[in-house]
Amino acid sequence: MRKTTRLKELIHAPELLVMPGAYDPISARVVEAAGFDAIQCSGYGISVARLGLPDYSFLAMSDMVDASKNIVDSVDLPVMADGDTGFGNAVNAWYAVKAFERVGCAGVNIEDQVMPKRCGHLEGKSIVSIDEAVAKIRACAAARVDPDFVINARTDALAVGGIDEVIRRGNAYMEAGATMVFIDGMTDKALARQAVEGIKGPVAINVVEGGKSPGQFTFAEMQAIGLARVSLPGTLVLAAIQGMRDAIAAVKANGYAGGPGARLADFAQIKELTGFAEVFRLEKEYLSALQQSTAR
Q: Which stretch of DSSP H or E encloses residue 197? A: helix 189-198
User: Do 181 and 284 belong together in one domain?
Assistant: no
User: Do 8 and 152 belong together in one domain?
Assistant: yes
Q: Which tens digits make up the pLDDT trace of 31-86?
A: 999 999 999 999 999 999 999 999 999 999 999 999 999 999 999 999 999 999 99
Q: Which tens digits make up the pLDDT trace of 82-126?
A: 999 999 999 999 999 999 999 999 999 999 999 988 887 878 889
Choosing from 189, 209, 233, the residue where a domain stops is 233
Q: How far is CA 237 from CA 43, 113, 145, in A?
A: 11, 23, 32
0.75 exceeded by the pTM?
Answer: yes
CA distance 26 to 111: 27
User: Do 211 and 295 belong together in one domain?
Assistant: no
Q: How far is CA 120 from CA 55, 156, 278, 296, in A?
A: 9, 7, 40, 64
- For 238-250, give one letter per residue: b (16+ CB within 10 A) or e: bebeeeeeebeeb
Residue 132 CB contacts under 8 Å (≥ 6 apart), including other chains: 89, 90, 112
Indicate the number of domains in the chain. Answer: 2
User: Do 61 and 175 belong together in one domain?
Assistant: yes
CA distance 22 to 191: 27
In a domain, 270, yes or no: yes
In a domain, 272, yes or no: yes
CATH number at residue 149: 3.20.20.60
Q: Which tens digits make up the pLDDT trace of 182-225?
A: 999 999 999 999 999 999 999 999 999 998 888 889 999 999 99
The pLDDT value given to residue 292: 62
Whether pLDDT at 291 is above 80:
no
One-letter amino acid of 132: E
Q: How far is CA 75 from CA 100, 147, 275, in A?
A: 16, 22, 12
- Packing angle, helices 43-51 and 235-254, rounded to 10: 30
User: Do 275 and 225 belong together in one domain?
Assistant: no
**Which range of residues forms the domain containing residue 219?**
3-233
CA distance 84 to 17: 21
User: Do 182 and 286 belong together in one domain?
Assistant: no
The pLDDT value given to residue 122: 76
User: Do 136 and 75 belong together in one domain?
Assistant: yes
In a domain, 245, yes or no: no
CA distance 17 to 229: 4
In a domain, 90, yes or no: yes
Q: Which tens digits make up the pLDDT trace of 224-276?
A: 999 999 999 999 999 999 999 999 999 999 999 989 999 999 999 999 999 99
User: Do 82 and 146 belong together in one domain?
Assistant: yes
Give the distance from CA 230 to its chain's centroid. 10
User: Do 273 and 191 belong together in one domain?
Assistant: no
